[in-house]
Amino acid sequence: MRFALSCLAMPTRSSRRGISLLAILLLLCGVALIAAVAIPAYFHADGVTLDAAAKVLARDLRSLQNRAALQKGTLRLVFDSDGWRAFDGESKPVAAIGESVPIERRFSHDGVFDGVTIDSIRMVGAPGARTDELLVDSRGLTKHGGVLTMRFREDWVNIEIERGGGSLLLSGPGRDIVGDEGRVLYSPPQQDRPADK
């Protein structure tokens, strides 16, 4: 009987294999610590933040153009120093197709864009028209164009919005001129680029 009980006994501690829960927790804490330092450092690089804000503007403008063409009505994108908002002809907020949240960007409320501002807004419309709004007609075309200047810390970028299709062209000191599709349209000579910090 003694032999049968010894066969059923639990294996000794030295024969167990695997990773302890403590080792997994330490690994996860290490990854979280690296992410907590690396992600904000990446997004607070001036050029990355401004380029990301311009991409969000391009996406919001495309959404507004699609909504205007679907509704067959004129919509508008109104800018201020902290971002932009989309409205219909009755000044009601407008959402993208299939979305319930209105198209609106507030840089001060979005941690990724905290510190970004729109320094100047020069939309070109009919004489006497507002210079802080971009109109999108019932075909989804921008009725006029204009230029925004966005700033983040010491860096800035001009965003030119073309009349008609609403293409965006980005330019600034020492940076390539890039279309909203990501294609480089012009690169300044190497000596005109700012030195790497």
- The tens digit of pLDDT for each residue in 157-178 reads 888 999 998 888 888 776 655 6
CA distance readout (Å), 40 to 67, 81, 163, 182: 34, 23, 36, 23
Q: All domains of the chain, ordered by start, with CATH? A: 46-192 (3.55.40.10)
Query: Concatenated DSSP letters for 158-175?
Result: EEEEPTBT--EEEE-TT-
How confident is the model over 48-61, as pLDDT tens digits?
A: 678 888 888 989 99
Bridge partners of 74, per DSSP, are: none
How confident is the model over 106-152, as pLDDT tens digits?
A: 998 887 788 899 999 988 876 777 889 999 999 999 998 899 999 98
Q: What is the pTM of this model?
A: 0.67
Residue 146 CA to residue 149 CA, distance in Å, equals 10
Residue 195 CA to residue 150 CA, distance in Å, equals 21
Bridge partners of 179, per DSSP, are: 169
